[in-house]
Amino acid sequence: MLHYIIQEKKTKWLQSDDCTIRDLVKYIRDKGHLRDTQIEAIETYLFLKIQGQNKPLWQLFSEGFFTNGTDLTKLDINQIPREYLSQNKNAFALFDFARQKNGNGTYIPELEKRIKANPASLDYDTIIKSIFYNVSYADYLMSLPMGAGKTFLMAAFIYLDLYFAANEPDNKAFAHNFLVLIPSGLKSSIVPSLKTIENFDPSWVLSEPSASNLKKLLKFEVLDEQKTAKKSNKARNPNAQKVNACLPNPFGQVFVVNAEKVILESFKFNAQTELELDEEEKDTTNDLKRLFGQIPNLSILIDEVHHAATDDIKLRQAVNYWHSKGNITTVLGFSGTPYLQSAEKIKVGDYEFKFSQITNTVYYYPLVTAIRKFLKTPTVKIGQNLDRFQIIKQGIEDFDNQYKNKVYENGTIAKVAIYCSNIEVLEEEVYPFLTGELKINPNEILRFHKGNKAHPQPEGSELEFRSLDLPISKKRYILLVQIGKEGWDCKSLTGVILSQKGDSPQNMVLQTSCRCLRQVDKGKEETALIWLNKDNADTLNKQLKQEQNTSIEELNSTKRTGKPETIDRHSRMDFLQLPKVDFYQMKVTYQAIDEEETPNTKAKLKALLKNIDNFKASALITTSDIANIDTGEIDVINETGIAFANFNQWLFEISRESFGLISEALLHQYDSELNEIFETVSYEKKGQRYFNELYDLHTIQSKIRLAFSIKRDLQTDTEVIPKQAELLIAERLTEVEKNAKLYPNEADTTKILELDKSNASVSIDIAEIEKAYQLMKETLEAQGMGNFVPTYESFKADKDYSLPVKSKNHTFHYLPYNFGGSGSSGFEIETLQKALQLADFKNKELEIYYNGERGLTEFVINCFAKEGRYWKNIGKYTTDFLIVKRTAKDKIHKALLIETKGSVYAEDKVFQKKKNYVETEFLKLNKEKFGYQRFDFLYLEDSKDIAANISKLNNKINQFFND
């Protein structure tokens, strides 16, 4: 929440005369090397450093730095809280924050109520400090998704701090030295981070000669010892030696450290993760933790700040320890998400409120936005009821179909990572499956793991792994165990397969799945493929919701902004000779009948005054002691309110809310009647008139406006009319943006159009295929190559047509169908595929056509709902599919309407009403008109098992198409 306020404040500052960095920001933008999100983060950072004076967030908050425009004079609150909030900045700041808009309500409504009720009862600074984790230093979190360039951003912050520190050495807001904490236990994650910071060109953010001068000043030290004794000193600890060597007054020193393996091992914690200093450690002057406490003007940059809850608590205490030595300038955290796995609770007396976001988040760039702007656009596919090998096979076939020939501009080839739960699964199951069943060349496969007794680490695999993002690497299929979940920067990785639970640690499914989203070619629209089993998909959805406030469905519907690649589409109406659909539609016409000749305004206003107490609430106050509430003394309240009342202003409001239909002049013609009403709904106190809030003023003013209208009655006429509908409006069939949910694919589309042109058969000669297979088998066996004989099924598959091509005479009235425009989860495509495979569908010579792309079809049903005596129009319904049966080439005899719905939309009330109308009235009126059951309706929901849905479809086909 805070980051939205900071964004608004920062934007105003950048446009104000107080801003001193406008030229700097313009220089960075003009250079064009950083992404917009990186520049926005820099703006935010410098705003807090300069305008916010690098103060702790709790202090800025308490001082009113983030207040956002609450006008106490316009609020309906008593005078006591109004005066208290006016006089106490910290109270006003918390009140203002609590009442910020959050959807249809406010951010913390209960806290807002408590402040209004008794503002002096709260300890505001204690509450505010609790919100910001009780830290007394500048502690900011930058939330950017993987692939957004967090490490480059770290480098930019380092150079900018040094630039300002060099110009103002005594300004404590800017750091002289830096400690970069990398979270992963892998030593290999430090090296890429260090190289990225070292290779950063400071001229991207600073002009010359400042950029070059600062680069010369910068000195890097990697503290990479894997084991550091807790009580070691500089004589025995190389890490401590490196730190000690730069003392006492370094400038431009950058330490890159593994947080868990180095820093936390230098501290001692008890079972409650509280920091302990025993007597021996108190006397130690050379241990690593104390040496860092001596480095002046130190900024700490922490990657993946909430990597692990326990480590985060320990790290926070370590930083607090250093801050107690007086040398910490800023703590800057980086994370892919601003959301907490479990909500943080803040106590306010006997009440507590919760935050689902990390409260010190000062900048947030969502994953979905990054996908729209620069990351690869992913398609997430979920294999339900498929085993490991089926998912891997489907995933690799899908990857090969889309990316086998993909070469990026830097010469690297597209790659897919297949994660395995352990080394045995990789070596004994997955690798043999790829080389055997899938016939993948072993030279295209990289097996990378750390080895065990049975399966040592493959020779040269680490070098191959480090070389994957180079043009020399020809490895396309990457098999991994416990590697590449985070800290792996391989831009040419284009696909990820998690085929079983355990292939990735459960808390890292999101990070692992998104490994393939990094951008390769700047400015180019790129895509990626993620294949998951159901367990991993459920985990991913949960983590997307918790950490990114999004879902797999939203990822799949996210589109890249910019000029998209398009696909031509083709009508097949002439080839299929698909006739129009004849049906009957209800038509309802509405007519307003005047029930009176004049408005009779005066009589209506008098009637309103007579019944005015119908719009008044009763208010009671009971006075008693706490033990006798039921027998207390009751006072009846007749008047209350603090809103000033003025007759002419009141008439102005009534006129304004009529949108000019009732003028003030017209209202003044009835001053006598209206003034009586005004006098009744207001009261006088100490010479001032106030509106009596016990009256429902909104309803009364509405009744006054109605008094100026002629009373009308609504009449409806209902008729049933015949309609003919084309399933394709050909002139509206235009090219479509390329997406993963076009069906069939380009190759099958081309093949179908070729076969249409030649009118060739799509059936295959099984006898000829068997004969060819036998000949091939005998030839290979005669040459001693019997081991290379494929199975008959795989041989046959090469000679056979795909499902879409084989089914072309029974579907696809245009090519390709676009299932991406509806935000489909893939359920629609799967329904179509399974329907085409049903034996009963084929035997009954049925046809199925997609009708769900809005604007392309005339078969749209007008829906109504009965309300009292009248039919109310509730909108149009377009069914997703029609399964049709012809009795002649030019006549459709029956049509089954199929609705496929995602479970998230199934409870939509408007849809439920439309569904009810189609299932009842539409089917009934068409049966009456045609004399037989011409239409039927089937509802399928993707929350159900696909097997159950297909069984339901097959049963409906046999029941409905039974003649």
Has residue 292 been placed in a domain? yes
Q: Which two tokens stand for residue 150?
A: 């967090």
Q: Which pair of tokens denotes residue 841? A: 């569908």
Predicted confidence at residue 930, as pLDDT, reads: 95
Residue 792 — φ and ψ, nearest 5°?
A: -60, -40
Q: Is residue 3 part of a domain?
A: no
- Does 228 share its domain with 248? yes
Query: What is the spatial distance between Cα 930 and Cα 936, in angstroms, rounded to a whole number?
Result: 13
Mean pLDDT is lowest, of 519-533, 593-607, 742-756, 842-856, for 593-607
Q: Which has the closest alpha carbon to 851: 895, 793, 902? A: 895
Q: What is the mean pLDDT of residues 686-691?
A: 88
Give the model confidence (pLDDT) of 463-516 as tens digits. 899 889 899 999 999 999 987 666 678 899 999 999 888 777 776 788 888 889
Report, as an integer, the average pLDDT of 574-592. 89
Residue 460: inside a domain, yes or no?
A: yes
Instruction: Pick the last residue of a domain from 541, 562, 583.
Output: 562
Give CA angle at 184 (179, 185), nearest 5°: 110
Cα–Cα dist 396/383, whole Å? 13
Is residue 9 assigned to a domain?
Answer: no
Last residue of a domain, one of 647, 675, 710: 710
- State pLDDT tens for residues 320-362: 888 888 889 999 988 877 777 677 788 887 778 877 778 899 9
- Please indicate whether residue 115 or residue 919 has the higher confidence score (pLDDT): 919
Nearest to 512 by CA among 541, 488, 477, 545: 488
pLDDT tops 90 at residue 731: no
pTM, rounded to two decimals:
0.57
C-alpha closest to that of 318 among 244, 389, 369, 260 = 260
For residues 509 and 498, what is the distance between their CA atoms, to the nearest angstrom?
Answer: 9
Does 301 share its domain with 386?
no
778 and 755, same structural domain?
Answer: no
The pLDDT assigned to 285 comes to 42
Flag whether 448 is in a domain: yes
Cα angle 734, 737, 740; round to 5: 125
Residues 518 and 642 in one domain: no
Examine the domain organization and report whether 410 and 392 are in the same domain: yes
Q: Are 403 and 513 in contact (CB under 8 A)?
A: no
| Spatial contact of 31 and 208, defined as CB atoms under 8 Å apart | no
Question: Do 785 and 879 fall within a single domain?
Answer: no
Tell which of 777, 799, 821 closes a domain.
799
Query: Do 491 and 549 share a domain, yes or no?
Result: yes
What phi and psi, each to the nearest 5 degrees, are found at residue 800?
Answer: -90, 160
Q: Are 838 and 951 in contact (CB under 8 A)?
A: no
Closest CA to 255 of 285, 228, 213, 225: 225
**Would residue 339 count as lying in a domain?**
yes
603 within a domain of the structure (yes/no): yes
Cα 830 to Cα 808: distance, rounded to the nearest angstrom: 16
What is the tens place of the pLDDT at every residue in 802-858? 899 999 999 999 999 998 754 455 788 999 999 999 999 999 999 999 998 877 899
**Are 680 and 825 within one domain?**
no
Residue 513 near residue 336 (C-beta atoms within 8 A):
no
Check whether residue 814 and residue 695 sit in a common domain.
no
- 649 within some domain: yes
Q: What is the pLDDT of residues 691-719, one digit of tens each?
A: 988 899 989 998 999 899 887 766 778 89
Is 232 found in the same domain as 260? yes
Could you give the CA distance from residue 513 to residue 165 in angstroms, rounded to a whole number? 41
Counting the structural domains of the chain, the total is: 5
Is there a single domain that holds both residue 706 and residue 744?
no
Is residue 273 domain-shared with residue 153, that is, in the same domain? yes
What is the CATH number for 156?
3.40.50.300
**Which range of residues forms the domain containing residue 794?**
763-799
**What is the C-alpha to C-alpha distance for residues 365 and 55, in angstroms, rounded to an integer?**
23
| Three-class secondary structure of residue 637 per DSSP | strand
